[in-house]
Amino acid sequence: MSLRLPWSSRFDASIRRDPRRHRVPGIPVVLDGEAVEPAAVLELQDRPLHTVLDPAALAGESLRVFTGIDRARAYALDLASADEAVQSEGPPRPPGSPIRGGSGCRVAGGGTNPLPADAGVVEFYEHIDLGGCGWRVPDSQTGVADLTKVVACGFLWWGWKSADQRISSLDVTTSYSSITLQVTPFPEDGTLWVPHRARVNSLVDYGWNDRARYWFRWCFA
């Protein structure tokens, strides 16, 4: 007779999900510069895709997707250079849950970004609309690329949750140029690029809900 813990089914479901499999976005898609049906991404399951959130995406108008990371990175660089503050509509940000600290880097400077080095923060949330468990990572903290090591919402030894495959929304105000959510430690395997200031109330429309297993900060300098 095997012992089955109460949370086993939830854990089994989590490890069965394959974050590398593309999901159909909920808004119109522009793939490598060409407008396509959102379901077209399903025909590219054998190829990594790279999604960049820009003002049009955050407004729910269209989603930029690239089959090559170089083009995605170049587009993200253009957005960072424009230094635009963007956010999707939604409720005010609730307080996040603090975790442990380290050190970071700074590139922006000038423009409309007033943040000094290491003054920003990225907040991940378990549910849409910045709800549920929150994971707060300040710019001053490094060494947390693996989302299994980003934990919060517990008490002593009980109830701690990692952000691995649980991120549904996020709030970004960082002194870095951009951040990426990723399915593996290697950006070439698929990325979601988020600008340095963005409130993303749902990753569902972008096909990235509960997919991210890693995240990285980028300095374009």
CA–CA distance, 192 with 23 (Å, rounded to integer): 13
pLDDT at residue 117, as a whole number:
60
What is each CA distance from 203 to 81, 107, 108, 138, 212, in whole angstroms? Answer: 24, 26, 26, 21, 10
Helices (H) and strands (E) in the chain — how many of each? 3, 11
- CB count in 10 Å sphere of residue 68: 14
Given pLDDT bands bounded at 50, 70 and 90, which one contains residue 115? low
Locate 198 and state its tokens.
């963005």
Average pLDDT estimate for 120-135 = 96
- Write out pLDDT tens, residues 152-171: 998 777 789 999 999 999 99
217 close to 172: Cβ distance less than 8 angstroms: no
- Mention every residue, 6+ apart, whose C-beta is less than 8 A from residue 17: 165, 210
Please list the helix, strand and coil fractions of the chain in percent, rounded to the nearest 5, in that order: 20, 30, 50
CA–CA distance, 11 with 194 (Å, rounded to integer): 28
83 close to 194: Cβ distance less than 8 angstroms: no
- Write out pLDDT tens, residues 71-106: 999 999 999 887 644 444 444 433 332 222 233 344
182 close to 214: Cβ distance less than 8 angstroms: yes
Locate 143 and state its tokens.
């060494």
Position with higher pLDDT, 197 vs 82: 197
CA–CA distance, 47 with 23 (Å, rounded to integer): 13
CA–CA distance, 23 with 174 (Å, rounded to integer): 27
Average pLDDT estimate for 98-125 = 55
DSSP state, 136?
E
pLDDT at residue 85, as a whole number:
41
pLDDT at residue 209, as a whole number:
96
Asked if residue 8 has pLDDT above 90, the reply is: no
Q: Which domains does the chain have, with CATH numbers?
A: 8-218 (2.60.20.10)
* Number of residues written out for the chain: 221
End-to-end Cα, the chain, rounded Å: 59
